[in-house]
Structure 1
C-alpha cells in the first residue's frame, strides 16, 4: 500500500511539472528548453524571447524593454504594449509627414505622393486606435470575434503603411524627401509587423 501511495504521489508530481512546462510555451515553442522547477522568467527575458521570434528582434526589444515590469510574462500585456508603442510612433510619423507637406517647397509629383501618404497614415492611425480600444476589453463571449477584428485592423494598418512607401519609389523624386519619409515609415511598418505577430499569438 505504501509503495502504491508513493508511486501515485510521484506520478502526480511529474504531471504537475509537465503541466507547468506546457503553460510556459508560446506559439508551440517552449520559452526555455531546459526548464528548472520554480524558475520564473523575468519580464525582460520574456520580451527578449518573444522578440526573438519576430522579423525585427532588435527593434522589438529596443521599443518594448522599458515595459518589462508591466508586461512580466503575459502575452496579452506584451501585445498591448507593442500596439501602444506602434500607435505612438505612427501618430508622430503622421505629424512629421504633415509638417513636411506644409513647410517644404515641393514639386507637384512629390506633393501628391506626400498627400497620398498622409491619407494612408491617417487610415493606419484610425485602425490602430480601433485595435487599442478593442484590446482593452477582450473578456466575455465575443473574444474570438474581437480578435478577428483586431487582426484585420492591424493588417490593414500595415497595408496602408506599405502603400505610403510605394508612393516614393520613383527615382525622379527629391532624394532627401524620399529617404526621410521612407525611413520613418519603414520603422512604423516594422513595429506594426511585430505587433501583428504578437496579436496572432493570442488565443
Structure 2
C-alpha cells in the first residue's frame, strides 16, 4: 500500500498541469546572460520575472521597457529644447527629440508585431520586428551624433539618457533574435 501511494504521488507530481507548464524560475537570468548589456537586462527585466513566462513574453517586456525609456527621453528632450543655451544646442536637441520620437513609434510597431506572431508569417513578422528595433537603435545613435561638437551639461545629460535607451533597446533586439517560433 505504501509503495502504491509513493508511485501515485510521483505520478501526480509529474503529470500535474501546473508542473508541466510552469516556466523556468530563472527565465530572465538565463535569457539575459548573453545579452549585449547583461546587467542592464537583468536589472530592467527582473520585475517581469513572474509575468513573463516565455521567451516571447520576455521579448515583449524588453520592448515595453525600451518604449518607456525612449518616451521618457523624448519628453525630456522636448522640455530641454526650451532651455537650450544657443542655436546650435537647440538644433541638436530638436533633432534628437525627433529621432527619439521615431524610435518610440518603431518600438510600438515592434511590440504590436510580437503580440501577433503567427506560424505562417513568423519569419516575415520577425524580419519586421528586427528591422524596426534596428531602426530605433540607429535613431538613438544618430541622435547622439548631433552633440559631438557641443560641450556641457546638456550634452552629458542627453548622452546619458539616450545611451540608457540604446542599451535596453539593444537588449530587446537580442531577446527578439532568440525567438524561434510563434
Structure 1 regions of 5+ residues with no counterpart? Answer: 1-37
SS at 2:85 equivalent: coil
User: Which residue matches 1:119?
Assistant: 98
Contact 1:43 1:71 in 2 (8 A): no
Q: Give 1:141 deviation, angstroms.
A: 1.3
Q: Give 1:174 deviation, angstroms.
A: 3.8
| Map 1:177-192 → 2, pairs under 5 A | 177-192=154-169
| Map 1:82-93 → 2, pairs under 5 A | 82-93=62-73
User: Which residue matches 1:80?
Assistant: 60
| Map 1:1-203 → 2, pairs under 5 A | 45-72=26-53, 74-102=54-82, 104-170=83-149, 173-203=150-180
CA distance in 2, matches of 1:143, 1:50: 21
Whose radius of gyration is greater, 1 or 2? Answer: 1
Contact 1:90 1:121 in 2 (8 A): yes
CA distance in 2, matches of 1:94, 1:141: 36
SS at 1:69 equivalent: coil
Aligned residues: 162
> Superposition RMSD on alpha carbons, in Å?
1.9
**Higher RCO, 1 vs 2 (CA within 8 Å, ≥6 residues apart):** 2
Provide closer, same or farther for how the CA distance between residues 71 and 43 of structure 1 changes in structure 2, counting only shifts above 3 A: farther
Q: Give 1:192 deviation, angstroms.
A: 0.6
Q: Give 1:51 deviation, angstroms.
A: 0.9
* 1:41-74 CA distance string (max 9 Å, x none): 96552211211101211111111001001113x1
Q: Give 1:135 deviation, angstroms.
A: 1.1
SS at 2:51 equivalent: helix
State the 4+ residue runs in structure 1 displaced beyond 2 angstroms: 40-44
